[in-house]
Amino acid sequence: MPTSTEGTTHGRGEADLDQRIDLYRMMVEARVFEELAYRMFVAGLVKGTSHLAIGQEAIAAAFAAAMRPDDLTFCTYRGHNHTLLRGAPPSRLMAELFGRGSGICGGKGGSMHLTDASAGAMGSYAIVGAHMPIAVGAAWAAMERGTGQTAVCFFGDGATNIGAFHEALNMAAVWSVPAVFVCENNQYMEYTPIRSVTAVENPAADRAQAYGLDSVLVDGNDADEMFHTARSAIDKARAGGGPSLIEASTYRHGGHSRADPGTYRPDDEVADWKARDPIPAYRERLLAAGVEAQRLAEIEAAVDRTMHEAVEEAKAAPLPPTSAIGTNLWADGGSAWRN
Amino acid sequence: MAELITYREAVARALAQEMERDETVYFIGEDVAAAGGVFKTTTGLLERFGPRRVRDTPISEEAIIGAAMGAAMNGLRPVAEIMFSDFLATCWDMIANQVAKTRYMTDGQVELPLVIRTANGAGVRFGAQHSQSVENWAMSVPGLKVVAPSTPRDVIELMAASIRDPDPVVFFEHKALFPTKGPVPDGELVGELGKAAIVRSGADLTIVALAAMVPRAVAAAEDLARRGVEATVVDLRCLVPLDTRTLLAACSQTGRVFTVEENPRLCGWGAEVASIVMEEAFFDLDQPVIRITTDHIPLPSADCLEDATIPSVSRIVEVVEKTLD
C-alpha cells in the first residue's frame, strides 16, 4: 500500500536514505499502476479515456512524500499517480478506471475525475486550470481555520495560458495562502509544443514575477531535487510564508491520451527524455549510495504483486447498480429537483 | 413586531444574522467590504465582522467562485458575490462544471455548502450585459439549487436557508427590487428552500411568477379583480427544488395557467412549468398554458424600449383578458 511519509526535520529539506528508498518505491508504484492501466485499456477494461503520466513520477512521489497526511492535493486529469501516491487504494483506483461500483468514486468519476477525500486527494480536474482557484480556496480555509494544512496544486504547462491560472496565482499571492502550485511541464499542451504557443520560454517560472513570487525551475525527473523543492515550499507555506510557484521540467513517455500515439514528437527528443527516465536513474543513485540491489528488487516485486492483485480485484468487482444513477447529487443522498 | 425594511437592507441583515450565528460563514466578492457593495447591499458587514470574514477580491470571477468552492471543501461556509448575474458567464466553468458536479462525481465524498449571490434582472437601464435574467442558466445544470426571492422577508429567510443548506445555492437578488419595502418580523428568520408561496388566491386563473415579476403579477391580479376576474398568484421563490405540489394544486384548482417571466423566451423556467402542468394536470386545464415573457432578444438600454419588452402589468392583464373572451 502506498503511504505518505511524514516529513523529517532535516534542516535542508533533504530526504534521508529510508525516505529515498520510499521515494523509489512510490515512483515504481505509480509506474506499474499506469503500465497496467494502459494494458487494461488496450484490453477494453478501462473505459473512456486515460491520460498517463509515465515518465513524470518523480514529481508526484516527491510531493506525496513531503506532504502531511492532512495536506490537500489538487491535480489534473493526468492524475492517477497523484491520487495513488497520496494513499488511494490501488484496487479501488483501478476499479474506478474500470467503471466498477467499488471504484473510489463509485464509478461516477472515471479516469479523469479521481477523488479520495479520506487520503487528501481532493480531486483530479478535467477542465484545464479550473482547480487552481479551488486550491486557493482550500488553502484560504486552512489559513482561516488555523489547521496548518497546505494545498498542493499540480497542473500542466498548458494551464499556464488559461485565465484561471492568472486569477488563482494573483489571489493566492494577495491573500498569502498556504498553497504550492506545481507546473508539471511535460513540454506539450496536448499535441502542441508549449513553446510554440507561449510568449515566454518557461511557461510558469517566467511568469512568477507577475505575482510577486520567486521563479523556481527544477528538474522534475530528479526525485531528490523534487523532494527538496517540495519540502521547502511546503514548509514555507505552513510557516505562513505564502504560496510558491514551481516549474518542474519533465516528459510523458506516451502521447497526450489513449487516442494519441504522440507521433508529432521528434524521435531523438523522445529518446533523449526516455534516457532521463526518473526511475532507472534513481535506482542507480540509490545503488551508488549503498542500498543493496536485493532490497530494491524486493520492493519492485512487492509493488508488482500489489498492483497485479489490484487489477484482479478490480476485474472481480461488481458493476455499479443502476440505482446509483440517482444518488449523491445532493447532501440528502438523492437527486430530487422537485417535490 | 414587524418593521418595514428594503430588499436591499434585507440582504445585509440576512448575511449578518448568519455570520453572527456561524463563524465559518465568510463573505467575499468585488467591492463588497470597504465599499459595502455596488448596490449597497452589504453595507456595515466589514465593520461588524472584520476584514478576514468580509473580504474584497480582485475582479476575478473564476477565482472568486473557485476560492469559495475550495473553502467549502475545507470547512468554511462561504458566500461569494458575483456583482451582476451577467458575469456568471465569466465563471460558468467553475459553477457548471466544478461546483455543480463535484458531489456527484465524487459519489458524495465532497460536500459544498456555498452560496453564490448575484444581482439579476432588468429595470435599471443598464443594457444587455448588466440586466439579464439568467436564473434559467443555473436551473439547467443538475447540482445547483436556485433561489430568487421577491420580498425582503423572503430575502432573509431564503438566504438563511441557503447558507445553512449543505448544497451549493445560486441566489438571485433582483436589482430592481432593492429599493422596495416589505414587513419583516424581529428576531432570527429562517425559511425553507423549495416552497412556493401563494401570494394571492382567486378561483378563475393562476399566474405563476418569480422575483420582480411577482409584484407585477399581483398588480395585474388586482386590476383583473376590478374587472371581476379573480387570480391566484404563485411566487415560485425557488426553481430548484421546485415546489410542484403547490404549483399543480393551484393550476388544477383554477384550470387556467399563465407564467410571467422576465427571461428571454426560449427555455425560460416557464417552459418547464408549462411542461409539468401539461403532463400532470392536463385534464384539469380549461385552456393551454400561456407564457408571458420578455421577447427573445438581448435587452435594449433605453427605458422606453426596456419597458416595452419586459412583461408589464398592462400586458399581463391584456393577455389574460384576451384568453378569457
- Residues in chain B predicted with pLDDT less than 50, given as ranges, are none
pLDDT in tens, B72-123: 999 999 999 999 999 999 999 999 999 999 999 999 999 999 999 999 999 9
B203 touches chain A (CB under 8 A): no
Whether B32 contacts B42, CB under 8 Å: yes
Look at residue A160 and tell me whether its pLDDT is greater than 50: yes
Helix pair A57-66, A278-288: axis angle to 10 deg: 60
Would you place residue A7 in the very low, low, confident or very high pLDDT band (cuts 50, 70, 90)? very low
* Model confidence at A58: pLDDT above 90: yes
Q: What is the pLDDT of residue A260?
A: 87
Per-residue pLDDT tens over the stretch A72-128: 999 999 999 999 999 999 999 999 999 999 999 999 999 999 999 999 999 999 999
Catalytic residue among B117, B130, B145, B175: B130
**A4 has pLDDT over 80:** no
A-B Cβ pairs (cutoff 8 Å, strict): 167
Q: Which residues of B touch A167 (CB under 8 A)?
A: 58, 60, 62-63, 66
* Cβ atoms within 10 Å of A44's Cβ, excluding its own: 7
Q: Which of A137, A142, A339 sits opposite B243 (nearest CB)?
A: A339
CA-atom Rg of chain A in angstroms: 19
- Whether chain B has a CB inside 8 Å of the CB on A135: the answer is yes
Say which residues have a Cβ less than 8 Å from residue A58's Cβ, sequence separation at least 6. A23, A27, A220, A221, A222, A223, A226, A250, A278, A282
The pTM (predicted TM-score) of the whole model is 0.96
The SS3 assignment for B186 reads coil
B181-185/B145-147 β-pairing: unpaired
B296 given a catalytic annotation:
no
Sort B79 into a burial class: Cβ within 10 Å, 0-12 / 13-18 / 19+: buried
| Mean pLDDT for the stretch of residues A227-232 | 98
By Cβ distance, the residue of A106, A122, A163 closest to B62 is A163
Rounded mean pLDDT of chain A?
A: 94
- Is A105 in contact with B110 (Cβ distance < 8 A)? no
Residue A128 touches partner B, C-beta closer than 8 Å: no
Cβ–Cβ below 8 Å for A327 and B94: no
Q: Mark yes or no for CB contact A328/B107 under 8 Å.
A: yes
**Residue A232 and residue A65: Cα distance in Å, rounded?**
13
CA distance A88 to chain B (A): 13
Contact A167 B62 (CB under 8 A): yes
Answer yes or no: are the C-beta atoms of A23 and A32 closer than 8 Å: no
